[in-house]
């Protein structure tokens, strides 16, 4: 077996320790907050049609998040997570991909799903876990999945999608497909062992995967400076021998440019790529979280001035592609669409209880059928306790 160690390294004769603090990975930025392009900046491949589709998705997600947050506070849904302030990351990177590329999301990438064509009714059906939900009501709200859009179902355990993405990319390469996988996760998930195993395997196997880290400064309430001592997450990609880039995650043009070039590396050269996007979560981690306990209003206000949606709007207006009237009418339309879809989804019946064990095995085994019968008996014994259950018995 050949020795894969670096035998061409410089030889020294005195002890010299290397510190990562001596090397700082730069951040790619193309678009200023006022909508002007930096001088000599490299631009992504983008035309008016793509730009407007991206911005249209921005406004839809803002309307969706706004309405669903209010609905959770009203007790109409149990749980929700907004992506306010981070929209440029999943929407901008999804815009750089081919529809046949596979998306493995964490749980704050509803924008990528919307960009690919997930309808407002499909969003509502999943959130309300009704019988039209593609997941058959078996997941918490926002745990989306859609086979036709090549968007793998979200899983709550942190970081599980990262090694899965390595395997998906390797399968695409083995099948000879000219596609890649993209895997989203936060800097908190990058502290999981799954992250390290996945990157090492991907680099070694040349798996065509784009690992997209949204570094929004907090793993729920834990600030980044308490998570790692090195130069962020990007430095780890370099350590694993992987092509790596850091971008301003609030700059839609920087995100699009980096992901377009990352996809080319992944598909043409079978090179895994790590993108670290520096951004900020303007909302709470979830509806179960109160960010006032771990960050200041001053800090939030500072990042509101870096809003990625406003930044792109300034750029569009400067090019004559957008104006105040379009902004107002589009937002009003999406708010009305979300409200109408929500009212409709609330009235759709819950899934039958049998759906709990369907689609796990080709034929449900005896022990699952036995457990289902026991559950039905329990519900019939205590009907008043289950009047508001999301599931229904077939005989009701």
Q: Which parts of the chain fold into alpha helices (H)?
A: 48-73, 87-94, 110-116, 120-127, 161-174, 193-205, 234-239, 252-269, 297-304, 308-318, 324-346, 366-381
170 assigned to active site: no
The number of CA neighbours under 13 Å toward the Cβ of 164 is 18
Radius of gyration of the chain from its Cα atoms, rounded to whole angstroms: 23
- Can 382 be counted among the known catalytic residues? no
> What distances in angstroms separate CA 224 from CA 23, 85, 231, 233, 277, one per listed residue?
18, 17, 11, 10, 13
pTM of the predicted model as reported, rounded to 2 decimal places: 0.94
User: Is the separation of the CB atoms in 104 and 113 below 8 Å?
Assistant: no
Q: Which residues contact 112 (CB under 8 A, 6 or more apart)?
A: 90, 91, 93, 94, 103, 105, 151, 184
Q: Which of 294, 304, 378, 380 is catalytic?
A: 294
- Residuewise pLDDT in 10s, the chain (396 residues): 455 556 566 888 899 887 766 678 999 999 999 999 999 999 999 999 999 999 999 999 999 999 999 999 999 999 999 999 999 999 999 999 999 999 999 999 999 999 999 999 999 999 999 999 999 999 999 999 999 999 999 999 999 999 999 999 999 999 999 999 999 999 999 999 999 999 999 999 999 999 999 999 999 999 999 999 999 999 999 999 999 999 999 999 999 999 999 999 999 999 999 999 999 999 999 999 999 999 999 999 999 999 999 999 999 999 999 999 999 999 999 999 999 999 999 999 989 888 889 888 999 999 999 999 999 999 889 888 877 665 666 655
Of 281, 311, 313, 334, the catalytic one is 281
Contact 222, 158 (CB under 8 A): no
Catalytically annotated residue among 285, 311, 313, 334: 285
* CATH for 27-222+231-347 (3.40.50.970, 3.40.50.300, 3.90.400.10, 3.20.20.140): 3.40.50.970
CB count in 10 Å sphere of residue 307: 18
Catalytic (active site) residue 21: no
Query: Which residues of the chain does CATH 3.40.50.970 include?
Result: 27-222+231-347
């Amino acid at each position: 077996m050949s020795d894969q160690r670096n035998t061409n390294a410089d030889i020294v004769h005195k002890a010299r320790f290397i510190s990562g603090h001596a090397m700082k990975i730069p951040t790619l930025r193309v678009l200023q907050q006022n909508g002007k392009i930096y001088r000599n900046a490299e631009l992504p491949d983008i035309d008016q049609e793509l730009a407007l589709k991206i911005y249209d998705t921005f406004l839809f997600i803002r309307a969706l998040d706004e309405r669903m947050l209010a609905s959770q506070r009203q007790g109409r849904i149990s749980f929700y997570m907004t992506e306010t302030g981070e929209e440029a990351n999943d929407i901008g990177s999804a815009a750089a991909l081919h529809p046949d590329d596979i998306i493995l999301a964490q749980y704050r990438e509803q924008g990528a799903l919307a960009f690919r064509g997930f309808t407002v009714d499909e969003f509502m059906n999943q959130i309300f876990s009704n019988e039209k939900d593609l997941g058959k009501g078996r997941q918490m709200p926002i745990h989306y999945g859609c086979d036709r859009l090549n968007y793998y179902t979200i899983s709550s355990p942190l970081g599980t999608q990262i090694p899965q993405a390595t395997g998906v990319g390797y399968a695409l390469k083995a099948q000879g497909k000219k596609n890649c996988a993209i895997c989203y996760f936060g800097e908190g998930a990058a502290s999981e062992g799954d992250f390290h195993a996945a990157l090492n395997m991907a680099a070694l196997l040349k798996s065509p995967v784009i690992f997209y880290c949204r570094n929004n400064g907090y793993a729920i309430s834990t600030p980044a400076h308490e998570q790692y001592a090195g130069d962020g997450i990007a430095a780890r990609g370099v350590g694993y021998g992987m092509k790596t880039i850091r971008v301003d995650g609030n700059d839609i043009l920087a995100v699009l440019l980096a992901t377009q070039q990352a996809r080319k590396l992944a598909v043409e050269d079978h090179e895994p790529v790590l993108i670290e996007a520096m951004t900020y979560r303007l909302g709470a981690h979830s509806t179960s979280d109160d960010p006032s306990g771990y960050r200041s209003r001053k800090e939030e206000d500072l990042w509101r001035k870096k809003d990625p949606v406003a930044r792109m709007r300034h750029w569009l207006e400067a090019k004559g592609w957008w104006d105040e009237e379009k902004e107002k009418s589009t937002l009003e339309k999406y708010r009305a669409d979300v409200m109408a879809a929500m009212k409709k989804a609330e009235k759709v019946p819950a899934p039958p209880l049998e759906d709990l064990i369907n689609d796990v095995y080709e034929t449900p085994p005896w022990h699952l059928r036995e457990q289902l019968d026991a559950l039905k008996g329990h519900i019939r014994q205590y009907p008043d306790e289950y009047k508001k259950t999301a599931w229904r018995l077939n005989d009701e």
